[in-house]
Chains A and B, each alone.
Chain A
Amino acid sequence: MEIALIGNPNTGKTSLFNNLTGSYEYVGNWSGVTVEKKVGVFKNTQGHLIDLPGVYTLNPLSKDEGVVTSFFLTESVDRLLNILDASQLERNLHLTLQLLEFEKPVLIGLNMVDVAKKRGIQINSAKLSAFLGVPVVPVVARNGKGCDKLVDVISTKSMKPVKKNLVYYGKEVEAAIAAISAVIEGKTEHSQRFLAVQYLEGNEYVKNYLHQIADAMKLSSILSNLESELQNRYDCKSLANFIYLKRKETIEKIAAAVAVKTDTVIPLTEKIDSIVTNKYLGIPIFLLLMYLMFMLTFDWLGTPLSDMLDAFLTGPITNLFESALTAIHASAFIHALIIEGLVAGVGGVLVFVPQIFILFFFISLLEDSGYMARVALVMDRIMESVGLNGKAFIPMIIGFGCNVPGIMAARTIETPKERLLTILLTPLMSCSARLPVYALFVGGFFAGHRALVVLSLYVLGIVVALTLAKVFSSTILKAETSLFVIELPPYRLPQFQSLWRSTWDKGKGFIRKAGTFIFAGSVFIWLLSYAGPNGLNVDMDHSFLAAIGGVIAPILAPIGFGTWQAAASLITGFLAKESIISTMNIIYFVPKDSNLQGLLANYYTPLAAYSFMVFILLYIPCLATTATIYKETGSKKWTAFAIGYALVIAYVLAFLIYQGGKLFGLV
């Protein structure tokens, strides 16, 4: 049995999905968190549950909304589970009425009853059920209240809608619906009434579908006749609007009968809003929050924790490996591979787990509290001036965690040009995999100003992205239209448990990557550094790795780090940014009683170190990001462009910083 979850954005579909399937998909308090179809298996009954992006209607504007409409048209589904936000019943019912026209069994989960209650809205679910002719179950997806009942109803009741044609669209439209139904009769297994109404509303996906299966001329003429008839008779704005108003009439009737409203106090949300979206304080507050986040990650909390972990890994753990290797009389080769290759390479990355978790915790907090949409609002003015809109800032913030979901999040941007621009620029956001490089270098060279130096890099990433946005949007990507309408959800106090889960979910990926990708990479890199043209166990300067790095090193000399070591780690950085650190740990294999940070001072000046960090920040999207750019743009040309411009801008900036710095007498 296939059951699809469908409802307005931010109504708690994914929360419910997680609850019913025991999985953990991305939840956040803004509209457009889910951008792809996700399939899960029910916990205790059989069948699949399908999570979909949120939509307001089945007539899509943006790509994530299109996912839902094409799902309806091309895939088979047995039942629909429609999630309604009880505190916004009227708006949510527009979608419900369209779903009922689809004539598949529908079950309604009335979610957020807790929020509605706080606002003084009481909904009689039995009455609602009677009106709509389908079962209605009140739930609180967040804590799982009512979910058992929901599962019960899903697996037992038939849910075939009992009443047909809840909305009477007026005699002209009904005649047109009948005419269209006659044309498509027998050519489709979907509900004819549904297709006809969507067609009349101007749904592009349905139009393409119908024009393929039936006589396009006939359909178009029915549509244009109806339009002119309505125009003459009622002087209505558009057919879509006419249909909307008819639905609204029905909804008003239903709402009046099922909802009881009492007056309540001013919600806390508005009080918070008057501060964080304050005229003058909005942007400073955002920067202050970012600064706090960096202080915690790099100074107050993260660094001490990482240092402890480092001491643990290089001390007891390495000793443990050493004694185990001695006990089994491992050969010198195996010994070197494990200690100098794996422990150094993988351990060197794992050390940064505490800092990465702190960063992810903050990002989760941002996502779950409702602040995300406010940041988009606060930033819109700046984004508009560079040819983007405030919504593009959301993918960028998500990109601070990992660029891949950031790029996916760009799907909610409605206009194609702005979306492409966002996809191209999101890789400039400094993702968590770049964080170990900064942590290592600021520790070695800028110990007094860790957080500030790192913050400067993050800000540089944003500034470069905005500058390039301006350049691209006024040259190759001129956009005619821009659209910025954003829903600002009420603040929700994040629950500790869900915060932890989403932090863990993001951090898990980092650990997993260390255990697989970085693990294999470390072995490979170590082998390259162990073997050379003259055999095995060569001096590292004569290894294959040195030979490969040496080819590129001269190009890097003008930007401050023309060593084969730097070049070699940059190459591995394309595979995954963490590899830079694991490679460095292997290359500069550190004798027991000193550390890499101290050792690096022999190879870099502080100025070169900063230039190196800037280069790492910008130089190339990693492999996974490149693949995502290709998937989302569907264009080799734009993917190549994303790599090319990044290399150029990174080189130019690092050059300016290094050579400029030298001019001013910095070292």
Chain B
Amino acid sequence: MNHSFKAGDKGKIVDLSHVSQLVQRRLLDLGITEGSEVCVKCVMPFGGPIMIESCGQCIGIRRKEAIQMEVVKI
């Protein structure tokens, strides 16, 4: 994802390999992997985490990890 997140941004994950191993594993547990569609719901201030939605469930992840995801707009 690009560096400035906005609530309402939508996209499809194309590459997760730059995200740290542990985070990848947890995202996988939650059913988020390459090919999943995600949507930014909220952005916390001061570089805080962001809340994304995928398949009807909401997940909070840190911004620095979200930045590592490669997402294409749909």
A and B are partners in one complex rather than unrelated chains: yes
Q: Digitize B15-57: 1 where CB-to-A-CB distance is under 8 Å, 0 elsewhere.
A: 0010010110111111101000000011111111101000111
- Cβ of A380 and Cβ of B44 under 8 Å apart? yes
B22 x A390 contact (CB < 8 A): no
A353 to B48, CA, bound (A): 39
**How far apart are A30's CB and chain B's nearest CB, in angstroms?**
11
Contact B48–A381 (Cβ < 8 Å): yes
Interface centre among A282, A377, A485, A490 (most CB of B within 10 A): A485
Closest Cβ of chain B to A64, distance in Å, is 13
A481 interface contact, C-beta 8 A: yes
Chain B residue nearest to A248 (CB atoms) is: B33
CA distance in complex: A484, B26 (Å):
9
Contact A380–B30 (Cβ < 8 Å) = no
Q: A273-B41, A377-B49 are in contact. Are A56 and B62 (CB under 8 A)?
A: no
Q: In chain B, what residue has the closest Cβ to A261?
A: B56
In the assembled complex, which residues on chain B have CB atoms less than 8 Å from the CB atom of A486? 59-61
Interface string of A255-280 (1 = CB under 8 A from B): 00000000000000110011001111
- Given the interface contacts A244-B33, A279-B45, A485-B61, does A87 sit within 8 Å of B51 by beta carbon? no
Choice from A91, A277, A278 contacting B30 with Cβ under 8 Å:
A91
Interface residues of A in 467-513 (CB under 8 A from B): 481, 483-488, 490
B59 to chain A, nearest CB (A): 6
Q: A residues within 8 A CB of B58?
A: 269, 273, 487-488, 490
CB-based contact B48/A380 at 8 Å: yes
Task: Give the residue of B23, B29, B60 whose beta carbon is less than 8 angstroms from that of A376.
Answer: B60
**Interface status of A191 (Cβ within 8 A of chain B):** no
Asked if B26 contacts A88 (CB within 8 A), the reply is: no
**How many residues on B have C-beta within 8 angstroms of the other chain's C-beta atoms?**
32
For residue A237, CB closer than 8 A to chain B, the reply is: yes
Report Cα–Cα, A485/B21, bound state, in Å.
12
A484 and B20: CB pair below 8 A? no
In the assembly, what is the distance between CA of A404 and CA of B23, in Å? 29
Known pairs A279-B43, A486-B60; A414 contacts B22 (CB<8 A): yes
The reply to whether A279 and B44 form a contact with Cβ atoms under 8 Å apart is yes
How many angstroms between the C-alpha atoms of A425 and B72 in the bound complex? 42
A280 (CB) vs chain B CBs: closest residue: B45
A381: chain B residues within 8 A (beta carbon): 44-49
Taking CB atoms and an 8 Å cut-off, the chain A residues in 353-379 that contact chain B are 373, 376-378
Q: Say yes or no: A277-B44 contact (C-beta < 8 A), given A377-B60, A487-B30.
A: yes
- CA gap between A415 and B21 in the complex, in Å: 13
User: Do B44 and A378 touch (CB < 8 A)?
Assistant: yes
Q: Please give, as numbers and ranges, the residues of chain B lying within 8 Å of A87 by CB-CB distance.
A: 56
Chain B residues with CB under 8 Å of A61's CB are 22, 25-26, 29
Q: Once the chains are docked, how many angstroms separate the CA of A339 from the CA of B41?
A: 61
CB contact between B44 and one of A244, A269, A377, A488 (< 8 Å): that residue: A377
Q: A377 and B23: CB pair below 8 A?
A: no
**In contact, A282 and B41 (Cβ under 8 angstroms):** no
Contact of B42 among A90, A94, A248, A273 (CB under 8 A): A273
> Chain B's nearest CB lies how many Å from the CB of A97?
13
What are the residues of chain A within 8 A of B23 when measuring CB–CB?
A: 483, 485
A487 pairs with B20, CB closer than 8 A = no
CA–CA, A481 and B28, complex, Å: 18
Total contacting residues, chain A, CB less than 8 A? 40
Which residues of chain B are within 8 angstroms of A91 by Cβ–Cβ distance? 30-31, 55, 57
Q: Which residues of A contact B65 (CB under 8 A)?
A: 485
| Minimal beta-carbon separation of A277 from chain B (angstroms) | 5
- Check: A119 CB closer than 8 A to any chain B CB: yes
CB-CB < 8 A to A57: which residues of B?
29
A322 at the interface (CB under 8 A from B): no
A539 to chain B, nearest CB (A): 61
Q: Report chain A residues within 8 Å CB of B61.
A: 484-486
Q: Which of A90, A270, A273, A485 contacts B59 (CB 8 A)?
A: A485
Once the chains bind, are B62 and A484 in contact (CB under 8 Å)?
yes
Q: How far is the CA of A486 from the CA of B57 in the complex (A)?
A: 11
How distant is the Cα of A244 from the Cα of B28 in the complex, in angstroms? 9
- How far is B46's CA from A378's CA once the two chains are assembled, in angstroms? 11
CB pair A481 B20 closer than 8 Å: yes
**Are A119 and B56 CB-contacts (below 8 A) given A61-B25, A270-B41?**
yes
Q: Return B1 CB to nearest CB of chain A, in Å.
A: 15
Once the chains are docked, how many angstroms separate the CA of A516 from the CA of B43? 50
Chain B residues near A484 (CB-CB < 8 A) = 49, 60-62
CA distance A415 to B65 in the complex (A): 16
Contact across chains for B22 and A483 when beta carbons are under 8 A apart: yes
- With beta carbons under 8 angstroms apart, the residue of A282, A376, A485, A490 that contacts B26 is A485
Q: For B50, give the chain A residue with the smallest CB separation.
A: A377
Chain A's closest residue to B29 (CB) is: A56
A384 within 8 A of B: yes
Residue on A nearest B64 in the bound complex, by CB:
A384
Cα–Cα distance between A438 and B59 once the two chains are bound (Å): 38
Complex: chain A residue closest to B17, CB-CB? A237
Q: State the CA gap A373–B30 with chains docked (Å).
A: 15
Separation in Å of the A400 CB from the closest CB of chain B?
22
Contact indicator B42/A380 (Cβ below 8 Å): no
B5 shortest CB reach to chain A, Å: 11
Contacts of B56 in A (CB 8 A): 87-88, 119
Q: A282: which of B33, B44, B55, B57 is its contact (CB, 8 Å)?
A: B44
Contact: A377 with B51, CB < 8 Å? yes
Residues of chain A contacted by B29 (CB below 8 angstroms): 56-57, 61
Question: How far apart are A61's CB and chain B's nearest CB, in angstroms?
Answer: 6
A237: chain B residues within 8 A (beta carbon): 17
B26 pairs with A380, CB closer than 8 A:
no
Q: Which residue of the partner chain B has the closest CB to A415?
A: B22
The interface residues of chain B lying within 8 Å CB-to-CB of A481 are 20, 22
Among B20, B30, B46, B60, point to the contact of A56 (Cβ < 8 A). Answer: B30
A–B Cβ pairs within 8 angstroms, 27 of them: A56-B29, A56-B30, A61-B26, A61-B29, A88-B57, A91-B30, A91-B57, A269-B58, A270-B41, A273-B41, A277-B42, A277-B51, A279-B44, A280-B45, A377-B44, A378-B48, A380-B62, A381-B48, A381-B49, A485-B23, A485-B26, A485-B30, A486-B61, A487-B30, A487-B58, A488-B59, A490-B58
Known A282-B44, A485-B23, A485-B61; further 17 A-B contacts with Cβ < 8 A:
A88-B57, A91-B31, A94-B31, A248-B33, A269-B58, A277-B44, A280-B45, A380-B44, A380-B49, A381-B46, A414-B22, A414-B26, A483-B26, A484-B49, A485-B60, A487-B59, A490-B58
Question: Which A-B residue pairs are the 5 nearest by beta carbons?
Answer: A381-B48, A56-B29, A91-B31, A485-B26, A488-B58
